[in-house]
């Protein structure tokens, strides 16, 4: 193995929610039968994804995509080892922090005393306080919010405290300040993963959430790949919501509303970066299609991803390592609209990558450990690098 040089670049592209079949412990999470990519492909049997197939995604779990005879990327899949199945847990694990206990969830709403303190400190009362679809609760309570100015507070199956407010009723600055208060209040034992500001606009019957969402996350509970890169002075570029998931620690990121926006920023990073790490979250497989059980939208997103890959590959340099993976599943073909406990695909590409099988990995953290070794920073607390298996010296 050659020692890492200043020209090395690593790209970690997380296809949010693009799981590849039941995790070993899926039954404990109520997710038997979830197989996001495989079930979408089976629901659309004429769908052709030639570029993903050529990389070798057919070898990456339950994908229902043909196995290329000559894959061009190293290929395999990883089992989750953190407790939970949300984006924060998945991204932290990819970067070397494994959660021994899941973040708390509140299917029956948050404690009244907690909400009373939140209302008192923000000078607005609260309505809602239950698990709900973000669009459904606006239809139900949006008019009351406009009439009273009360916060709409709700949660989901994930560990989130969400605060919705109409932009014409509550200025964004006030909504963000209120979410910062909630983040201060939501410490253990109520230390939810994320507080999310959910601004919306429109009138009853036509409410729509705006792009001004803002997440207030817990800080990682251990040393992450991003921390090690920052300590070593390795340049880091963020695409999508990755900074929110790490509470901004070690990364700043340009947020994106669509997958296409993310792909454009990744392409821009590949053209501009001299060295370092680009960390991208590609959001719509989860946010736009998985949570809404939108199979046609998901299919269109897969076609868009497949069409983008050749151009992205043309931007790769000789010392590049490009890894595609996911953080959990979100199967739009099941009755559930929540995340699914699934294994995730791993595809590692680049001019010097051997297109070999890396098999089944016991933790997502193997990805971060591989990137840490590749970029020459200290080993992470979790994970086993597969760099020596795939890199041509």
Region for residue 102 given its phi and psi (left: phi exceeds 0; alpha: psi -120 to 50; beta: otherwise):
beta
pLDDT in tens, 211-235: 898 989 899 999 999 999 999 999 9
213 or 307: which leads in pLDDT? 307
In this prediction, residue 14 carries a pLDDT of 98
383 belongs to a structural domain: yes
Say if residue 159 is in the same domain as residue 281: no
- Identify whether residues 251 and 145 lie together within a single domain: no
Q: What percent of the chain has pLDDT over 70?
A: 98
Question: What is the count of structural domains for the chain?
Answer: 2
- Which of 171, 193, 217 represents a domain boundary (last residue)? 217
Three-class SS string for the chain? CCCCCCCCEEEEEEECCCCCCECCCHHHHCCCCCCHHHHHHHHCCCCCCHHHHHHCHHHCCCCCCCCCCCCCCEEEEECCCCCCCCHHHHHHHHCCCCCCCCCCCCCCCCCHHHHHHHHHHHCCCEEEEEECCHHHHHHHHHHHHHHHCCEEEEECCCCEEEEEEECCCCCHHHHHHHHHHHHHHCCCCCCCCEEEEEEEECCCCCCEECCCCEEEECCCCCCCHHHHHHHHCCCEEEECCHHHHCCCCCCCEECCCCHHHHHHHHHHHHHHCCCEEEEEEECHHHHHHHCCCCHHHHHHHHHHHHHHHHHHHHCCCCCEEEEEECCCECCCCCCCCCCECECEEEEEECCCECCCEEEEECCCHHHHHHHHHHHCCCCCCCCCCCHHHHECC
CATH of the domain at 140: 3.30.70.1250
Tens-digit pLDDT profile for residues 114-158:
999 999 999 999 999 999 988 899 999 999 999 999 999 999 888
pLDDT, averaged across the chain = 95
384/271 same-domain check: yes
Amino acid 152: pLDDT: 98
Q: What is the pLDDT of residue 2?
A: 38
Is 312 found in the same domain as 224?
A: yes
Identify the domain boundary among 201, 217, 233: 217
> Same domain, yes or no, for 289 and 328?
yes
pLDDT surpassing 80 at residue 5: no
Q: Which among 2, 5, 7, 15 is positioned nearest to 240, based on CA atoms? A: 15
Residue percentage of the chain with pLDDT more than 90: 93
272-296 residue pLDDT tens = 999 999 999 999 999 999 999 999 9
Q: Which domain holds residue 181?
A: 112-217
Residue 107 forms part of a structural domain: no
Same domain flag for 351 and 257: yes
> pLDDT tens across 331-369, in order?
999 999 999 999 999 999 999 999 999 999 999 999 999
| Residue 234 lies inside a defined structural domain of this protein | yes
What is d(CA 278, CA 289) in angstroms, rounded to the nearest whole number? 25
Does residue 4 carry a pLDDT above 70? Answer: no
Find the mean pLDDT for residues 241-266: 95
Q: State yes or no: pLDDT of 199 exceeds 90.
A: yes
pLDDT band per the 50, 70, 90 thresholds, residue 373: very high
Same domain, 295 and 366: yes
Residue that terminates a domain, selected from 191, 217, 243: 217
Confidence of residue 1 (pLDDT cuts 50, 70, 90): very low
Question: Residue 3 pLDDT more than 60?
Answer: no
Same domain as 256, residue 361? yes
In terms of domains, do 161 and 276 share one? Answer: no
Say if 223 falls within a structural domain. Answer: yes
Task: Grade residue 6 by pLDDT with cuts at 50, 70 and 90.
Answer: low
Q: What is the reported pLDDT for 220?
A: 95
């Amino acid at each position: 193995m050659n020692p890492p040089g200043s020209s090395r670049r690593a790209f970690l592209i997380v296809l949010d929610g693009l799981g590849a079949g039941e995790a070993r412990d899926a039954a404990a999470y109520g997710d038997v039968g979830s197989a996001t990519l495989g079930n979408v492909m089976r629901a659309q049997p004429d769908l052709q994804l030639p570029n993903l197939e050529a990389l070798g995604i057919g070898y990456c779990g339950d994908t229902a995509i043909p196995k290329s005879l000559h894959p061009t990327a190293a290929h395999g899949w990883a089992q989750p080892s953190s407790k939970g199945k949300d984006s924060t847990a998945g991204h932290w694990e990819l970067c070397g922090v494994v959660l021994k206990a899941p973040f708390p969830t509140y299917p029956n709403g948050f404690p009244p005393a907690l909400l009373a303190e939140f209302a008192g400190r923000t000078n607005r009362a609260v309505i809602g306080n239950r698990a709900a679809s973000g669009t459904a609760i606006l239809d139900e309570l949006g008019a009351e919010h406009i009439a009273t100015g009360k916060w709409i507070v709700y949660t989901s199956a994930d560990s989130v405290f969400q605060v919705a407010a109409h932009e014409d009723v509550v200025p964004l600055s006030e909504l963000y300040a209120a979410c910062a208060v909630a983040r201060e209040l939501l410490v253990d034992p109520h230390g939810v993963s994320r507080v999310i500001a959910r601004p919306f606009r429109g009138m009853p019957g036509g409410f729509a959430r705006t792009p001004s969402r803002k997440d207030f996350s817990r800080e990682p509970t251990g040393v992450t790949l991003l921390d090690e890169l920052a300590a070593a002075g390795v340049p880091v570029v963020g695409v999508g919501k990755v900074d929110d998931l790490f509470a901004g620690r070690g990364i700043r990121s340009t947020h994106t509303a669509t997958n296409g926006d993310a792909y454009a920023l990744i392409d821009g990073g590949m053209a501009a970066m001299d060295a370092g790490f680009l960390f991208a979250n590609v959001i719509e497989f989860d946010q736009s299609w998985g949570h809404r059980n939108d199979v046609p939208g998901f299919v269109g997103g897969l076609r868009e991803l497949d069409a983008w890959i050749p151009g992205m590959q043309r931007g790769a340099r000789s010392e590049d390592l490009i890894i595609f993976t996911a953080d959990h599943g979100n199967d739009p073909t099941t009755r559930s609209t929540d995340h699914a406990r699934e294994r995730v695909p791993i595809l590692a590409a680049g001019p010097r990558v051997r297109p070999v099988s890396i098999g089944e990995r016991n933790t997502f953290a193997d990805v971060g450990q591989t990137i840490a070794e590749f970029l020459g920073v200290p080993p992470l607390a979790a994970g086993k690098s597969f760099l020596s298996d795939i890199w041509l010296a």
